[in-house]
Amino acid sequence: MSDERHGVDTLRAAIEDVASGLPTPRVPPEISPDAAAPRPLPPPPRRWVPTAALAAVALLALAFAAYLATVRLPRLEGELARLRAGTERAIEPVDLSIVSLPRAPADVRSGAGGEAATVEIEPGSPSVLLVELDPRWLEPVAEAYVFELRGADGGTAGRWSLTADEAARHLRANEGVPLLLRTAAGPFTLHLTRRLDGRDHELSSLRLEVVARRDGSSP
Amino acid sequence: MTFPIREMRLREVVEEPETGPAERAPEAPGDGARLEDLAAAAQAGDGAAADALYRGAHARLTRIALALGASPDDTPDLVQEALLAGWRHLERFDPRQGSFVGWLVPGLKGRLLNRRRGVGRKLGFLERFGRAQPSPEGAAQQTRDALEARLTVSKLLAGLTDRQREVVALYELGGLSARETASLLGIGESGVRSIARDARRRLHDEARRLETPRVRRIS
């Protein structure tokens, strides 16, 4: 009978050999006693990165606020004050003179055409001459209106040109035509000419006595 | 041809008084405790008993799986899966219905069957596409003894029918009683003993054949 079990024993021994060569079983955590006990909670993930980033952002914000309060804002206020002062100068130039051109050209040689207009300028700074026009001079089909400032010797000291539309716009706004004077003191004659169909027709002229302001102070 | 039940039982006792389960080497679950007692303790929440239960059942299920023809490479996973499934439903185990290992055997057999089907489909796919059958994983690293043991198991089991293989695995090597084996296989206890007897003879003959040196005649 024991001989009959020889085959079974051989199979059992071979199976034991095979089983011994298999990986050693590890009790799964699901079954292990260690797994039965509640596992300690893992430590919370370190959040140093967001914290550091927030701290850096806060520091930057504080530094920027300090920079604005101590440096930038005073500068801005200074610049704003300068701009405001410059604007006011531009709005109310101290060297603005207003003249009205007569309805007929002056006879410069005979001295007719009314008295000369006196224009004060401040040497070294531009002066604005506001010239009022007569609406009747306006010709819609005119090609151009030309202002020419001539000296006593007949030479040109300044020349300004504007179209009929520009002249009409000045008239509708009931304002004069601003001319920027860059001349020295002396006698001048301002001529207004209208160009129509290729021909120039003088509309008016005015003698100007350009004088330098003596005290240099604003009026 | 029929026998009275009393006669059949008498024959069983007379024919196999020495080769029954009583003669087989007793299985030694962890720490000498019965697996059924360990299972009861584990059901009560004893973690140490669960650990011992796992280790003891693992060894016996491994032998059964190998005796059923499972690949040694697949056996650890099969046993692990069967044990985990049993652990998850441990409250359903009733020692009055049978042994703990016998309770796990259906799950083990089902997984083995699924694994064979999967391997069969894989091999069929490879064959259809004309590719060679892959070599066993890790074969190059296996020692010669382990390979010989695997070969011996394979040859011994190859001489058995599927039913004989199941009886050998459960009844002869798995340590299950004839009654429990019969219950698992759906046959009578006398059938288990009869099949076991035939299987032992076949294993004996095959083992003798393996032990006989083969001499090649040159001339």
The model's pLDDT over A163-176, given as tens digits with 9 standing for 90+, comes to: 888 888 887 777 77
**C-alpha closest to that of A177 among A216, A122, A138:** A138
Gap between the Cα atoms of B42 and B38, Å rounded = 6
Q: What confidence tier does A68 reach under pLDDT thresholds 50, 70, 90?
A: confident
- Chain B nearest-CA residue for A16: B63
* pLDDT value at B28 more than 50: no
Q: What are phi and psi of B3, to 5 degrees?
A: -120, 145
* pLDDT value at B196 more than 90: yes
pLDDT, tens only, A131-155: 888 888 888 788 888 999 988 888 8
Contacts of A117 (CB under 8 A, 6+ apart): A97, A99, A206, A207, A208, A209
- Whole-structure pTM value: 0.47
Dump the DSSP string for B121-180: HHHHHHHHTTPPPPPPTTGGGS-HHHHHHHHHHHHHHHTS-HHHHHHIIIIIIS---HHH
Decide if B66 contacts B174 (C-beta within 8 A).
no
Residue with tokens 């039913």: B163
- Chain B nearest-CA residue for A13: B149
Q: Do A22 and B202 touch (CB under 8 A)?
A: no
- Which residues of A fall within a CB distance of 8 Å from B142? 21
Q: Which amino acid is at B138?
A: G
Q: What pLDDT, on a 0 to 100 scale, did the predictor assign at position B170? A: 92
**A40 against B189, higher pLDDT:** B189
Dump the DSSP string for A26-78: ---TTTSHHHHSPPPPPPPPP-HHHHHHHHHHHHHHHHHHHHIIIIIHHHHHH
Out of B146, B153, B208, name the one closest to residue A11 (CB): B153
Q: What pLDDT, on a 0 to 100 scale, did the predictor assign at position B96? A: 86
Q: What pLDDT, on a 0 to 100 scale, did the predictor assign at position A212? A: 81
* pLDDT value at B88 more than 70: yes
Q: What confidence tier does A215 reach under pLDDT thresholds 50, 70, 90?
A: low
Q: Do B152 and A32 touch (CB under 8 A)?
A: no
* pLDDT value at B108 more than 80: yes
Gap between the Cα atoms of B90 and A194, Å rounded = 116
Q: What confidence tier does B133 reach under pLDDT thresholds 50, 70, 90?
A: very low
CA distances (Å), origin B50, targets A38, A169, B60, B101: 16, 105, 16, 14
- Chain A nearest-CA residue for B45: A36
Gap between the Cα atoms of B40 and B88, Å rounded = 14
Q: Which amino acid is at A161?
A: S
Distance from CA of A48 to the nearest CA of B (A): 39
Q: Do B153 and A19 touch (CB under 8 A)?
A: no
* pLDDT value at B73 more than 50: yes
pLDDT, tens only, B31-64: 456 888 888 888 888 888 888 888 888 889 999 9
Q: What pLDDT, on a 0 to 100 scale, did the predictor assign at position B169? A: 92
Q: Do B87 and A30 touch (CB under 8 A)?
A: yes
- What letters, b where the CB count within 10 A reaches 16 and e where it falls short, cover B167-203? bbbbbbbbbbbbebbbbbbebebbbbbbbbbebbebb
Distance from CA of B182 to the nearest CA of A (A): 19
Q: What pLDDT, on a 0 to 100 scale, did the predictor assign at position A108? A: 47
**A29 against B11, higher pLDDT:** A29
| Highest mean pLDDT: which range of B80-84, B123-127, B135-139 | B80-84
**C-alpha closest to that of A181 among A165, A203, A158, A198:** A158
- Which residues of B fall within a CB distance of 8 Å from A38? none
* pLDDT value at B215 more than 60: no
The region of weakest confidence among B10-19, B121-130, B188-197 is: B10-19
Mean pLDDT of chain B: 75
Q: Which of A9, A10, A15, A39 should be substituted to probe chain B, the one whose Cβ sees the most B Cβ atoms within 10 Å?
A: A15
Q: What are phi and psi of B142, to 5 degrees?
A: -75, 145
Q: What confidence tier does B6 reach under pLDDT thresholds 50, 70, 90?
A: very low
- What's the whole-number mean pLDDT along residues B98-108? 89
Out of B80, B153, B202, name the one closest to residue A18 (CB): B153
* pLDDT value at A70 more than 50: yes
* pLDDT value at B198 more than 70: yes
* pLDDT value at A58 more than 90: yes
Q: What pLDDT, on a 0 to 100 scale, did the predictor assign at position A110? A: 42
- What's the whole-number mean pLDDT along residues B87-99? 86
Run of H or E including B11? helix B5-15
Decide if A209 contacts A120 (C-beta within 8 A).
no
Q: Do B204 and A7 touch (CB under 8 A)?
A: yes
Q: Which DSSP symbol is given to A96?
A: E
Which tokens is A56 given? 């850096």
The region of weakest confidence among A6-20, A87-101, B78-92, B192-206 is: A87-101
Gap between the Cα atoms of A9 and A15, Å rounded = 10
| Highest mean pLDDT: which range of A40-54, A100-114, A129-143 | A129-143
**C-alpha closest to that of B194 among B7, B11, B4, B2:** B11
Q: What pLDDT, on a 0 to 100 scale, did the predictor assign at position A171? A: 78
Which tokens is B72 given? 């040694």
Parallel/antiparallel/unpaired status of strands A199-212 and A186-196: antiparallel
**A10 against B124, higher pLDDT:** A10
* pLDDT value at A187 more than 60: yes
The region of weakest confidence among A1-5, A141-145, B182-186 is: A1-5
Gap between the Cα atoms of B218 and B200, Å rounded = 35
Gap between the Cα atoms of A219 and B179, Å rounded = 131
ipTM, 2 decimals?
A: 0.71
CA distances (Å), origin B28, targets A10, B35, B53, B55, B104: 20, 9, 11, 11, 17
- Which residues of A fall within a CB distance of 8 Å from B209? none
